[in-house]
Chains A and B, each alone.
Chain A
Amino acid sequence: MSQTSDINTLVGEEYKYGFKTEVDYEDFPKGISEEIIREISRRKDEPQFMLDFRLNAYKQWLKMDEPEWSNVTYKKPDYENLLCYSVPKKKPVLDSLDQVDPEIIATYEKLGIPLEEQKMLSNVAVDAVFDSVSIGTTFRKKLAEAGVIFCSISEAVKDYPDLVKKYMGSVVPSKDNFFTALNSAVFSDGSFVYVPKDTVCPMELSTYFRINNEEAGQFERTLIICEDNSHVSYLEGCTAPQFSTNQLHAAVVELIAFDNAEIKYSTIQNWYAGDEDGKGGVYNFVTKRGICKGRASKISWTQVETGSAITWKYPSVILQGDYSVGEFYSVATTTKRQQADTGTKMIHIGKNTKSTIISKGISAGNAQNSYRGLVKVGKNATNAQNYSQCDSMLIGATCGAHTFPYIEQENASAKIEHEATTSRVGEDQIFYLKQRGLNEEDAISMIVNGFCKDVLKELPLEFAAEANKLLGIKLEGSVG
C-alpha cells in the first residue's frame, strides 16, 4: 500500500544531520594513558593545576569499573582504541574564524548554525564545539560589555584560571562515577559561562556540539557560574554523522547558582541514534549537576532527548540554599533500538526548598525508555516540597517504558507527591485525526506535542519550534 512506502521513505530521510565533513586532523595517538593525558594538556597549553587535576582523575578512573546498574545493554567502548583528542589542523587563532577550515564553517551553516554574527539570530550567542575543540564563540564583545564571560572551557582554563580552579569539580567530583573520572582525565572542550553579580545575561547562550570523527570520543566539559541576583539561560544542541560504529560522548556539566541567582539550562539532544538493527549511534553518558548554593536560587533543567543509541543521564540539583528551587523538565523519545535511562536527582538540604520533576517518555519501535529519579530530603530540610510527574507514552507493541522512582526522606515535614501514567497511541487516535483531514505526520506530531506540552513550554522560544518539529520527524512512521 502507498502508506507503507511513504513511511519507508520518511524513515530513511529522518536523520538529516548524518553527513560527515572531510577535514584534516592533527595526528594524535589512540588510547588512554598518563602519557596521552600529558600530551593533551601540553597541546592545550594548560597550566599545571589543570594537568594535576587530570592526572588525579586518571588515577581514580583506573580503580573504577564501568557501571552496569542502568536499564540499558550495550557493548562497552574499547578504551584502548579510543581517540580522546581529535582536533582539525586548521583551527581558530586569536578568536578569529579566518584560520578555520572552511569545510567546518560550511558544516555549521549546513546544520543551521551560521557562525558569522551578521547571519545569526540576533539574541543568541553560540559556542561551536567540533569534536574536541571549540571553533568559535560569537557575540563575545556584546556579552563582555554586560560583564558576562562566555568562552570555551579551554580558553577559560588559560584566561580565568582562578575561577576554573575554584569551581571545576566542586559540584561533580572527578571520582563521582566511572565516566566523570574519565571525563576529568581527558576532557577536551565545552563552554564556560560566568555571570557576575546583579546581571541579567542580555542574550540566550548556546553551545552546539558536533561529533565528526568516527574514532573519537567527545569529552564535553561545561561550567556555568551565576553570582548573586543574576540570571542566565543556556542551551546546548548536539548532532553527529551516521556511522555504523558507536561514538562515545561522555560529558560533565556543572552549574553553580548563588543567592537569588537563576540558571536555566536547556538541551536539545539529537545525536545519531543508530539504524533499524541498532547498528551505530552515539553513547551519550552524561553527568549533569547543579548546586543551588545561595538562598532562593533556582536551577532549571529542560531536556528534549531524541537521539543517541544509548542515553544515560540524570541532570540533578542540590538544593543547599534555603528557599532554593530545582526543576527538571524532560522529554525523552526512543525509537528503533534506542535505549534511554534518564531522569533526575533532587537533593533537598536547605529549608523550604522546592523541586518539580516533569518527565515525559515516548517509546516506539523496539526501543526501551526508562525514567529513574531520586528525591532525597535531608534531616534539616524542613518543609521541603517535591512534585513529580512521570508519564510514558507507547507507540506500537514492541517497545517498553519503565519508571524507577526512589524517595529517601529524613525529615517528616517534607511533602512529596508522585504521579505516573502510561498511555498508548492507538490506531483510533490517529484515525480520529486523519478523519479530520490531517496526515499521519501531523497527527502523530499533534498527539506527541500535546503529550509533551508541559515540558516544551519551558524551552526558550527560539528553540521551541525546532523541538516541536524534531519530535514530529522522529516518530513518523512509528504507528501501524
Chain B
Amino acid sequence: MLKITNLHAKVRGEDVEILKGLNLEVKKGEVHAIMGPNGSGKSTLSKVIAGHPAYEVTEGQMLFDGVDIMEMDPEDRARSGLFLAFQYPIEIPGVNNQTFLRMSYNAIAQANDEEEMDPLEFEDFVKGKLDSIKMDESFLDRSVNTGFSGGEKKRNEILQMAVLNPKLAFLDETDSGLDIDALQVVSSGINLLRKPDNAFVLITHYQRMLNYVEPDVVHVMIEGQIVKSGDKSLALKLEEQGYDWLTKPHMNGILA
C-alpha cells in the first residue's frame, strides 16, 4: 500500500537533513508502530508523507497504492485515501465541527466519484460514527478543536478518521497526553476501524498504547532512519531498555 524508498527530506530553505534515506513498506491489513527518541524525525516523516509545504524532499520515492505521490498536493493525497491524525490538531474558530466534517467528507467523495451527502444524511451518518467510538454528540456543535482539551482534540482526530475511512492512517503521537480512559477510547476506535483492506501507522513514544492496539510490525527510528524493525516484542524491549542499546554500537563505531 505504501512503499517509501531512500527518502531524504529537510525543512524548506534550510540545509540540515532530517530524513536520511528512510525505507518503509506498509501492506494492507497491517498496523505498524514507529518508535524512537525525540528529534529522530518521526513527526517529520508523517508530515512529508502528507505533503506539508514546510518540508522539501531531496531524494527518494514515495509510492501510495502504486502511485508516485511526491508531486501531489496535500489535498490530492488526502483524497486518494491518506489520513494524518495530527500531533497538535489545529483550532479553527467559528467553524462548526459537523460542517467541517461534511465538507471534508464530500470533498473526498467528490474526488472519488462517490455520492456526496446533504446535511441531513450526513447528520445521521456522523452520529452513527460517534456511537461506535463512544463520543458525545456535543462534539458536533462546537467549533473545530476550539477550546477542546488535549484529549478531546485527539478524539476529534479519531472521529474524523472514522468519518473519512482512509486507506492508510498515520497517527502522530495520538496517545501523548491522554489519560487511561481516553487512551482506551482512542484505541478501541482504531481497533474498530481496522479492516483487511486498510492500514495504520502509529507514531508513539510509549509502549502503553500498543497494549490496546496490537501492532504487526514495530520500527525504531533514530536520526532520520529506521534502524531496526521487529514484532511487538521489540516495543517491550524498548520500554525496558530504552534506545541506548541501539545507538551505542553506532557510537562505539565512531569512537573506535
Contact residues in A for B92 (Cβ distance below 8 Å): 429, 432-433, 446-447, 450
Q: Does B25 have its Cβ within 8 Å of any Cβ on chain A?
A: no
Tell me the complex Cα distance, A362–B142, Å.
23
Q: Does B237 have its Cβ within 8 Å of any Cβ on chain A?
A: no
* Minimum C-beta distance from A428 to chain B (A): 6
Q: Given the interface contacts A432-B89, A436-B164, A437-B104, does A452 sit within 8 Å of B94 by beta carbon? A: yes
* Minimum C-beta distance from B161 to chain A (A): 10
Q: Which of A438, A450, A452, A480 contacts B104 (CB 8 A)?
A: A438
Q: Does B35 have its Cβ within 8 Å of any Cβ on chain A?
A: no
Whether B107 and A437, one on each chain, are in contact in the complex, defined by CB atoms closer than 8 angstroms, is: yes
Whether B94 and A450, one on each chain, are in contact in the complex, defined by CB atoms closer than 8 angstroms, is: yes
Whether B143 and A435, one on each chain, are in contact in the complex, defined by CB atoms closer than 8 angstroms, is: no
| CB-based nearest A residue for B105 | A437
Whether A435 and B93, one on each chain, are in contact in the complex, defined by CB atoms closer than 8 angstroms, is: no
Q: Which of A2, A438, A447, A480 contacts B75 (CB 8 A)?
A: A438
Contact residues in B for A431 (Cβ distance below 8 Å): 50, 52-53, 74
Q: Given the interface contacts A429-B92, A432-B90, A450-B95, does A480 sit within 8 Å of B78 by beta carbon? A: no
| CB-based nearest B residue for A3 | B73
Contact residues in B for A3 (Cβ distance below 8 Å): 73
Whether A436 and B78, one on each chain, are in contact in the complex, defined by CB atoms closer than 8 angstroms, is: yes
Chain B: residues with Cβ within 8 Å of the partner, total of 30
Q: Does B34 have its Cβ within 8 Å of any Cβ on chain A?
A: no
Whether A438 and B50, one on each chain, are in contact in the complex, defined by CB atoms closer than 8 angstroms, is: no
Whether B74 and A434, one on each chain, are in contact in the complex, defined by CB atoms closer than 8 angstroms, is: yes
Whether A447 and B95, one on each chain, are in contact in the complex, defined by CB atoms closer than 8 angstroms, is: yes
Q: Given the interface contacts A431-B74, A447-B92, does A437 sit within 8 Å of B108 by beta carbon? A: yes
Of residues 68 through 108 on chain B, the ones whose CB sits less than 8 Å from some CB of chain A are: 73-75, 77-79, 83-84, 86, 89-90, 92-95, 100, 103-104, 107-108
| CB-based nearest A residue for B101 | A436
Tell me the complex Cα distance, A435–B160, Å.
11
Q: Does A453 have its Cβ within 8 Å of any Cβ on chain B?
A: yes
Q: Which of B53, B84, B100 contacts A446 (CB 8 A)?
A: B100
* Minimum C-beta distance from B111 to chain A (A): 7
* Minimum C-beta distance from B74 to chain A (A): 4
Q: Does A442 have its Cβ within 8 Å of any Cβ on chain B?
A: yes
Whether B107 and A439, one on each chain, are in contact in the complex, defined by CB atoms closer than 8 angstroms, is: yes
Tell me the complex Cα distance, A35–B73, Å.
63
| CB-based nearest B residue for A456 | B94
Whether B90 and A429, one on each chain, are in contact in the complex, defined by CB atoms closer than 8 angstroms, is: yes
Tell me the complex Cα distance, A437–B51, Å.
12
Contact digits for A428-466, partner B, Cβ 8 Å, 1 yes 0 no? 110111111111101000110111111000000000000
Tell me the complex Cα distance, A450–B104, Å.
15
Q: Does B117 have its Cβ within 8 Å of any Cβ on chain A?
A: no
Contact residues in A for B180 (Cβ distance below 8 Å): none
Tell me the complex Cα distance, A449–B103, Å.
14
Contact residues in B for A14 (Cβ distance below 8 Å): none
Q: Does A427 have its Cβ within 8 Å of any Cβ on chain B?
A: yes
* Minimum C-beta distance from A270 to chain B (A): 22
Q: Which of B52, B93, B160 contacts A436 (CB 8 A)?
A: B160
Of residues 28 through 86 on chain B, the ones whose CB sits less than 8 Å from some CB of chain A are: 50-54, 73-75, 77-79, 83-84, 86
Contact residues in B for A427 (Cβ distance below 8 Å): 53-54
Contact residues in B for A440 (Cβ distance below 8 Å): 75
Contact residues in A for B90 (Cβ distance below 8 Å): 428-429, 432
Whether B86 and A432, one on each chain, are in contact in the complex, defined by CB atoms closer than 8 angstroms, is: yes
* Minimum C-beta distance from A153 to chain B (A): 38
| CB-based nearest B residue for A448 | B94
Whether A438 and B103, one on each chain, are in contact in the complex, defined by CB atoms closer than 8 angstroms, is: yes
Whether B94 and A435, one on each chain, are in contact in the complex, defined by CB atoms closer than 8 angstroms, is: no
* Minimum C-beta distance from A421 to chain B (A): 10
Tell me the complex Cα distance, A433–B51, Å.
12
Contact residues in A for B95 (Cβ distance below 8 Å): 446-447, 449-450, 453
Tell me the complex Cα distance, A436–B50, Å.
10
Contact residues in B for A446 (Cβ distance below 8 Å): 92, 95, 100, 103
| CB-based nearest B residue for A452 | B94
Contact residues in A for B53 (Cβ distance below 8 Å): 427, 431, 480
Contact residues in A for B84 (Cβ distance below 8 Å): 435
* Minimum C-beta distance from B15 to chain A (A): 20
Whether B94 and A453, one on each chain, are in contact in the complex, defined by CB atoms closer than 8 angstroms, is: yes
Q: Which of B75, B83, B94, B143 contacts A434 (CB 8 A)?
A: B75
Whether A450 and B143, one on each chain, are in contact in the complex, defined by CB atoms closer than 8 angstroms, is: yes
Whether A434 and B73, one on each chain, are in contact in the complex, defined by CB atoms closer than 8 angstroms, is: yes
Q: Which of B54, B89, B164 contacts A437 (CB 8 A)?
A: B164
Contact digits for A114-137, partner B, Cβ 8 Å, 1 yes 0 no? 000000000000000000000000
| CB-based nearest B residue for A432 | B90
Whether A434 and B86, one on each chain, are in contact in the complex, defined by CB atoms closer than 8 angstroms, is: no
Tell me the complex Cα distance, A435–B92, Å.
14
Contact residues in A for B75 (Cβ distance below 8 Å): 434-435, 437-440
Contact residues in B for A428 (Cβ distance below 8 Å): 90
| CB-based nearest A residue for B47 | A431
* Minimum C-beta distance from B163 to chain A (A): 10
Contact residues in A for B86 (Cβ distance below 8 Å): 432, 435
Contact residues in B for A449 (Cβ distance below 8 Å): 94-95
* Minimum C-beta distance from B94 to chain A (A): 3
Contact residues in B for A442 (Cβ distance below 8 Å): 103, 107
Whether B74 and A435, one on each chain, are in contact in the complex, defined by CB atoms closer than 8 angstroms, is: yes
Tell me the complex Cα distance, A453–B74, Å.
27
Contact residues in B for A2 (Cβ distance below 8 Å): 73
Tell me the complex Cα distance, A435–B50, Å.
7
Of residues 405 through 432 on chain A, the ones whose CB sits less than 8 Å from some CB of chain B are: 427-429, 431-432
Tell me the complex Cα distance, A436–B111, Å.
12
Tell me the complex Cα distance, A453–B90, Å.
18
* Minimum C-beta distance from A472 to chain B (A): 12
Q: List 10 A-B contacts (CB under 8 A).
A: A431-B74, A434-B75, A435-B51, A436-B100, A436-B104, A437-B78, A437-B164, A438-B75, A438-B103, A446-B100
The 8 closest A-B pairs by CB, nearest first: A450-B94, A450-B95, A436-B104, A437-B107, A453-B94, A434-B74, A432-B90, A437-B108
Q: A436-B164, A437-B164 are in contact. List 19 more A-B contacts (CB 8 A).
A: A427-B53, A429-B92, A432-B86, A434-B51, A434-B74, A435-B50, A435-B51, A435-B86, A436-B78, A436-B100, A436-B104, A437-B107, A440-B75, A446-B95, A447-B95, A449-B94, A450-B95, A450-B143, A450-B144
